[in-house]
Amino acid sequence: MENKTKNMNRRRPVGDSSAAIDVERDAPPERRKPATQANGGFLSMFQYRDVPPTDLLAILSVYFVQGSMNLSRIALSVFLKDDLQLPPAQVSFIEASTFIPWMIKPLYGFLSDSVPLLGYKRKSYLQVCGLLNSISWLCFAALVSSPAAATVAIIGSAVGTACSDVVVDSVVVERSRDQETSGSLQSLCWMSYALGAIVSSYFSGHLVEEVGPRGVFKLTAFVPLLTFLFAFILAEEKVSGKGARGGLKAKGG
C-alpha cells in the first residue's frame, strides 16, 4: 500500500495542484484552512476565527451605525430650541422619548425569533430597521415642523436603532461557537461602535455650522442605509412557512 502511494505521487506532475488538494483534504480538521482563507481575495482579510467575513462585515456595520447616530445629537438640540422654539422642558421631553423603544427590547427579540419577514429572521429585520431609521431622519429634514411630528420621527428612529441592536446581538450569539470567540467578537463590535461615535462626534458641531440642522439630518439619513445594504450579505438560511408556524407553536406551548 505504501509503495502504491509513492508510485502515484511520482506520476503526478510537479505543478499539479491536485496533490495540494489531497494534502488539504487529508489534514486533521484543526489544521484545515477556512474556505475564504484558502481561496484568498478581498473578503479573506475580514475572516475572523469561524465567523465568515460577510457576516463580520454585516455585524460591524450595525454597530458602526449605532455609534454614528451621534452625528445628529447637537443638530437635534439646536433644531428643537431655535427652529421650533420649544422651551427647555419640552425639549427634554422629546429627547427623552428616544428611551421608550429601548424599554421594549424583548419584544423585538420575540418578533425576530417567531415571525420571519420574507423568510428570514435576521437580515429582513435589519433591512427594515435601516430603512425605518433613514426615513425618520428624512422626515426630520423635510417634514417636521411641530413638536408632535418631532416626537414621532425621533421615536421611529429609536425603534430602528433598538430593534437592529437586538437582532445583531442575536447574530453575534449565533456566530459565537465558544466563549473565546464570543469575547473577541464583542470587543470588535464595541470597537466599531466607538469608531462610529468618535467620527460622528468630531464632525457633528462643524456640520451644524456649515449646513444647518436640517442639512445634518439629511446626512444622518444616509448612515442607517449601511445597515440595510450590509444585511444583504449576511449568511442566513431561508425559513419555510411551515417552519415559521412551528416555531410560533413551540413558543406558545
Q: How many CB atoms lie within 10 A of CB 152?
A: 15
pLDDT band, residue 252 (cuts 50/70/90): very low
Contact indicator for 196, 68 with CB cutoff of 8 Å: yes
CA 60, 62, 65 angle in degrees (round to 5)?
110
pLDDT digits (tens, 9 = 90+) for 213-242: 999 999 999 999 999 999 998 888 888 755
The model's pTM is 0.74
Mean pLDDT of 18-32: 43
